Structure 1
């Protein structure tokens, strides 16, 4: 495979990942009838009939700068 062909294939990764995510979402709805996802700052259960139930409010996102390393506190 040439370098140009490899770069073209790599450029499609985000598109392919998005398609795979949408397909997985649809399969989960068809099989289980519901999926749990983050939406508008809330954890919600979306059902196949189109209804959405809020399960939990999510904490505000932590703003970070590129290259910043965050460390988790121990769970003691």
Structure 2
């Protein structure tokens, strides 16, 4: 099997990078529904709590969590030392 390497221009790479969030969102949704379809449960965050969602639509509280940390796109965050 041979692979063909395409020359990526800066414009092409920028275009592809701009679409990473929507591709990741689509992949996440597909994995979520696929897990439920095969009978597995999934974890979600609802109102500051982690809940386990089952294929029949029921859910069970797992754990309370801290509020999300808002981050502006492009902002750099550093851990406190």
TM norm structure 1: 0.72
Using a 3 Å threshold, how does the CA distance of structure 1 residues 48 and 61 change in structure 2: closer, same or farther? Answer: same
Higher helix share: 1
Output the aligned Cα RMSD. 2.5
Aligned partner of 2:32 in structure 1 is 25
The alignment covers a number of residue pairs equal to 72
- The reply on whether 1:70 has 2:60 as its aligned counterpart is no
Offset of residue 38 of structure 1: 1.9
In the TM superposition, residue 69 of structure 1 has moved relative to its aligned partner by: 2.5
5+ residue gaps, structure 1, are none
